[in-house]
Amino acid sequence: MTDVSRLPGTAHHHWQWQLRAACRNLGPGRFYHPAGERGEEREDRDEAAKRVCAVCPVRTACLEHALRTREAFGVWGGLTEEERRALLEPASRRARTARVGAGHH
């Protein structure tokens, strides 16, 4: 689930990038897999979503939002949930290691 405590707030400028998103009027079906979707069907859907992201003028803002809020599902900024998790995991592991090494438990 998205960590809503990490959302930027209601100020219009925080969300304005979404108005320019290439996916804005495409609906969620291309970007979120249905329950039980696996294998080639899921890969094809993800690739179709990533093609939209590849030409999106706000791809970076979208990915930053997804990483900051820990979006748990869907393709955001050209990355699947698994790809985003892999980016975040090493950083969180390093932070835990640093805390343990500093004597914090």
One-letter amino acid for residue 33 of the chain: H
Do 13 and 80 meet the contact criterion of CB atoms below 8 Å apart?
Answer: no
Whether residue 101 is annotated as binding a ligand: the answer is no
Chain centroid to Cα 73, Å, comes to 7
Whether residue 70 is annotated as binding a ligand: the answer is no
Whether residue 75 is annotated as binding a ligand: the answer is no
Tokens of 100: 């343990």
Whether residue 56 is annotated as binding a ligand: the answer is yes
Distance CA 18, CA 22 (A): 9
Distance CA 34, CA 70 (A): 20
* Annotation: binding site for [4Fe-4S] cluster: 23, 53, 56, 62
* Annotation: binding site: 23, 53, 56, 62
